[in-house]
């Protein structure tokens, strides 16, 4: 049998990493991610778990090596563990190097062990503050103790935890060193992320929220010795180690220093739209070819056509005190 050609974009970048949103729903309403009163997609528009399996398996057949499951909050999707368990076969065969997810941590006391049993070894947990009152403020609906319990459950199950912190001016600036010290004590990696201009978030001002990671990194260097690492995990983060603690800190900087030149990833929504760039609106409908035929030929063709349109980079920009490159969809729709 002939192996289909691997996915190479117009700028000679191999596409080996797919991020899949399995739901746009979430049990939090983080102020930088979505509006408090969200209108979610009708369930009939969502891909079934079987369709998600078929789509991801098709990508794996085209050379995909890493699969990250996102949302919304992926673990609130009913029956989601059957999907993770189905993907285990690709890990077992060696066709897939890594199956992982990004979560808010709220459901991990229930799902950490089943995720490990399905082959997940590394997870990202989004957590922007260690202050319970501020956590309730930023998530609108969240409870910090539930997330902290989930983190402990994940560690007990054997999952390697990375904490993702969105850097928010005036909100968690004064917790910078507390977050670093906490992650060092708990033996967890830590990545800081610049807030991205995506979606109407109900009156919050992106420019007021924006804290450049160049400033954050400069503050860190006043207390720690930062040594850059060449290591990459397949995503957009650039890493340093802190000499004083030995821990690894990542920086995802779509605005102050974009990472487009090495982009190896695409994102698929829970409705089957493939976004070739997080910061662009161009997308490809994969649901229609998926449902049009039991053969994967139409779907494979649609994927190749989409990758051929992948742009060189995004246009996010906060300069001149206005938001250029803003996209109207919420982060929860595309997936983190």
- Residues flagged as binding site for GTP: 19, 68, 102, 162, 265-267
Binding site, by residue number, is 19, 26, 30, 32-33, 68, 72, 102, 126, 162, 196, 260, 263, 265-267, 277
Q: In what order do the strands lie in the sheet with 160-167?
A: 226-228, 238-242, 248-252, 189-194, 160-167, 122-126, 98-103, 66-70, 17-21, 265-268, 273-275, 283-285
Give dist(CA 112, CA 188) in Å, integer.
16
Which two structure tokens, joined as six digits, stand for 138?
């930023």
Matching residue, tokens 């229930």:
110
Binding site for S-adenosyl-L-methionine, by residue number, is 32, 72, 126, 196
Q: At what angle do helices 108-117 and 80-93 cross, to 10 degrees?
A: 30
Q: What Rg do the C-alpha atoms of the chain give, in angstroms?
A: 19
Give dist(CA 278, CA 333) in Å, integer.
11
């Amino acid at each position: 049998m002939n192996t289909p050609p691997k996915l190479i974009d117009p700028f000679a970048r191999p596409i080996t990493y797919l991020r899949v949103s399995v739901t746009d729903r979430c049990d939090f309403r983080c102020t930088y991610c979505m509006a408090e009163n969200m209108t979610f997609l009708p369930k009939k528009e969502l891909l079934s778990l079987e369709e998600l399996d078929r789509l991801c398996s098709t990508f794996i057949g085209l050379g995909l090596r890493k699969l990250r499951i996102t949302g919304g909050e992926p673990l609130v999707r009913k029956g989601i563990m059957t999907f993770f368990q189905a993907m285990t076969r690709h890990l077992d065969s060696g066709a897939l190097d890594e199956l992982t997810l990004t979560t808010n941590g709220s459901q991990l006391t229930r799902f950490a062990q089943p995720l490990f049993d399905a082959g997940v070894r590394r997870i990202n947990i989004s957590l922007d503050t260690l202050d319970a009152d501020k956590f309730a403020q930023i998530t609108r609906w969240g409870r910090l103790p539930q997330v902290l319990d989930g983190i402990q459950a994940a560690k007990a199950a054997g999952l390697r935890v990375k904490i993702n912190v969105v850097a928010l001016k005036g909100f968690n600036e004064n917790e910078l060193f507390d977050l670093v010290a906490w992650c060092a004590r708990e033996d967890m990696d830590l990545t800081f992320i610049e807030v991205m201009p995506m979606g109407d978030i109900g009156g919050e001002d992106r420019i007021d929220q924006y804290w450049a990671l160049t400033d954050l990194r400069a503050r860190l260097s006043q207390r720690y010795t930062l040594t850059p690492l060449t290591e990459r995990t397949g995503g957009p983060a650039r890493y340093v180690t802190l000499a004083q603690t030995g821990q690894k800190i990542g920086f995802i900087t779509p605005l102050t220093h974009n990472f487009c030149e090495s982009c190896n990833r695409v994102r698929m929504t829970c409705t089957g739209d493939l976004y070739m760039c997080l910061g662009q609106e161009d997308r490809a409908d994969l649901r229609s070819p998926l449902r049009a035929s039991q053969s994967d030929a139409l779907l494979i063709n649609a994927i190749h056509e989409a990758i051929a349109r992948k742009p060189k980079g995004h246009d996010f920009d906060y300069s001149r005190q206005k938001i250029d490159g803003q996209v109207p969809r919420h982060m929860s729709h595309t997936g983190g």
